Structure 1
Amino acid sequence: MAIEKSSASVADPQPIPKEETTDEDLGAHLDEKKLKKYYIGSIDQGTTSTRFIIFDGVGHPVAQHQIEFTQHYPHSGWHEHDPKELITSVEQCIEKATQSFIDQGHDISDIKAVGITNQRETTIVWDTNTGEALHNAIAWPDTRTKSLANKLKAKDGADSLQNLCGLPISTYPSSVKLLWLLEHVEAVRKAYDEGRLTFGTVDTWLLYHLNGGKEKNILVTDATNASRTMFMDLYTLEYDDKLLDFFELDRNKLTLPKIVPSSSPDAFGALTSGLLKGVRIAGCLGDQSAALVGQQGFSPGSAKNTYGTGCFLLYNVGEKPVISKHGLLATVAYHFGGERKPIYALEGSIAVAGSGVKFLMDNLGFITHSHKISDLAATVEDNGGCVFVTAFSGLFAPYWIDDAKGTIFGITQFTERGHIARATLEATCFQTKAILDAMELDSGHKLAELAVDGGMSNSNLCMQVSSAGHLYNPCLEAYCQSSTQTQANLIGIPVDRPAMHETTALGAAIAAGFAVDIWKEFGELKEINQKGRVLFEPNMTKEESSKMFKKWGRAVEMCRGWVDTDEANEDF
Structure 2
Amino acid sequence: MENTSGKGADPQPVPKEQVTEQSSGVQLDEKKLKKFYIGSIDQGTTSTRFIIFDGTGQPIAQHQIEFSQMYPQSGWHEHDPKEILTSVEQCIEKATQSFIDQGHDISDIKAVGITNQRETTVVWDTNTGEALHNAIAWPDTRTMGLVRELKARDGADDLQDICGLPLSTYPSSVKLLWLLHHVDDVRKAYDEGRLSFGTIDTWLLYHLNGGKEKDILITDATNASRTMFMNLHTVQYDDKLLDFFQLDRGKIRLPKIVPSSSPDAFGSLTYGPLKGIRIAGCLGDQSAALVGQQGFSPGSAKNTYGTGCFLLYNVGEKPVISKHGLLATIAYDFGGKRKPVYALEGSIAVAGSGVKFLMNNLGFITHSHKISDLAASVDDNGGCVFVTAFSGLFAPYWIDDAKGTIFGITQFTERGHIARATLEATCFQTKAILDAMELDSGHKLAELAVDGGMSNSNLCMQTQANIIGIPVDRPAMRETTSLGAAIAAGFAVDLWKEFDELKEINQKDRMIFEPNISREEGAKMFKKWGRAVDMCRGWLDAEETNGDF
Q: TM-score range by the shorter chain?
A: over 0.9
1:52–1:97 Cα contact (<8 Å) kept: yes
Is residue 2:510 matched to residue 1:547? no
What is the aligned partner in structure 1 of residue 475 from structure 2?
A: 498
Partners of 1:243 and 1:569 lie apart in 2 by 24
Partners of 2:117 and 2:153 lie apart in 1 by 29
| Shift of residue 383, structure 1, vs aligned partner | 1.7
Partners of 1:306 and 1:379 lie apart in 2 by 25
| Shift of residue 410, structure 1, vs aligned partner | 1.1
SS at the partner of 2:459? helix
Is residue 2:346 matched to residue 1:348? yes
What is the aligned partner in structure 2 of residue 195 from structure 1?
A: 193
Task: State the identity %.
Answer: 86
| Shift of residue 560, structure 1, vs aligned partner | 0.5
Equivalent of 1:270, from 248, 268, 271? 268
Partners of 1:162 and 1:151 lie apart in 2 by 17
Amino acid at match of 1:503: T
Partners of 1:416 and 1:539 lie apart in 2 by 25
Partners of 1:339 and 1:571 lie apart in 2 by 45
SS at the partner of 1:396? coil
SS at the partner of 2:355? helix
What is the aligned partner in structure 2 of residue 446 from structure 1?
A: 444
Partners of 2:326 and 2:505 lie apart in 1 by 29
Amino acid at match of 1:321: P
Amino acid at match of 1:388: F
Deviates more, 1:361-370 or 1:139-148: 361-370
Is residue 2:361 matched to residue 1:363? yes
1:297-376 correspondence to structure 2 within 5 Å: 297-370=295-368, 373=371, 376=374
Is residue 2:402 matched to residue 1:425? no
Q: TM-score, normalised by structure 2?
A: 0.96
1:42-441 correspondence to structure 2 within 5 Å: 42-370=40-368, 373=371, 376-377=374-375, 379-441=377-439
Partners of 2:423 and 2:504 lie apart in 1 by 33
Equivalent of 2:485, from 508, 527, 549? 508
Cα shift readout 1:363-383 (whole Å, capped 9, x = no counterpart): 223344446545644554322
Partners of 1:15 and 1:370 lie apart in 2 by 21
Partners of 2:373 and 2:293 lie apart in 1 by 33
2:146–2:548 Cα contact (<8 Å) kept: no
| Shift of residue 336, structure 1, vs aligned partner | 0.1
Deviates more, 1:358-367 or 1:129-138: 358-367
Is residue 2:511 matched to residue 1:534? yes
Is residue 2:34 matched to residue 1:36? yes
1:76–1:569 Cα contact (<8 Å) kept: no
SS at the partner of 2:542? coil
Amino acid at match of 2:183: V
What is the aligned partner in structure 2 of residue 474 from structure 1?
A: none
What is the aligned partner in structure 2 of residue 482 from structure 1?
A: none
Amino acid at match of 2:114: I
SS at the partner of 1:230? coil
1:146–1:565 Cα contact (<8 Å) kept: no
Partners of 1:128 and 1:363 lie apart in 2 by 39
Moved over 6 A (4+): 7-10
SS at the partner of 1:249? coil
Amino acid at match of 2:536: C
2:112–2:278 Cα contact (<8 Å) kept: yes
Is residue 2:537 matched to residue 1:560? yes
1:75–1:569 Cα contact (<8 Å) kept: no
| Shift of residue 362, structure 1, vs aligned partner | 1.4
Change in 2 beyond 3 A, CA 1:373/1:461: closer
Amino acid at match of 2:294: Q
Partners of 2:173 and 2:67 lie apart in 1 by 25
2:289–2:304 Cα contact (<8 Å) kept: yes
**Structure 1: gaps (5+ residues):** 1-6, 465-485
What is the aligned partner in structure 2 of residue 462 from structure 1?
A: 460
2:145–2:548 Cα contact (<8 Å) kept: no
Partners of 1:21 and 1:420 lie apart in 2 by 39
Partners of 1:385 and 1:519 lie apart in 2 by 51
Partners of 1:541 and 1:379 lie apart in 2 by 23
Amino acid at match of 1:209: H
Deviates more, 1:357-366 or 1:442-451: 357-366
Partners of 1:108 and 1:456 lie apart in 2 by 33
| Shift of residue 414, structure 1, vs aligned partner | 2.6
| Shift of residue 411, structure 1, vs aligned partner | 1.7
| Shift of residue 351, structure 1, vs aligned partner | 0.2
The RMSD of aligned alpha carbons is 1.6
Partners of 2:417 and 2:14 lie apart in 1 by 30
Change in 2 beyond 3 A, CA 1:165/1:506: same
Partners of 1:108 and 1:458 lie apart in 2 by 32
Cα shift readout 1:308-365 (whole Å, capped 9, x = no counterpart): 1000000000000000000000000000000000000000000000111111121223
Partners of 2:299 and 2:370 lie apart in 1 by 39
Amino acid at match of 1:208: Y
SS at the partner of 1:324? coil
What is the aligned partner in structure 2 of residue 14 from structure 1?
A: 12
Partners of 1:371 and 1:109 lie apart in 2 by 37
| Shift of residue 182, structure 1, vs aligned partner | 0.2
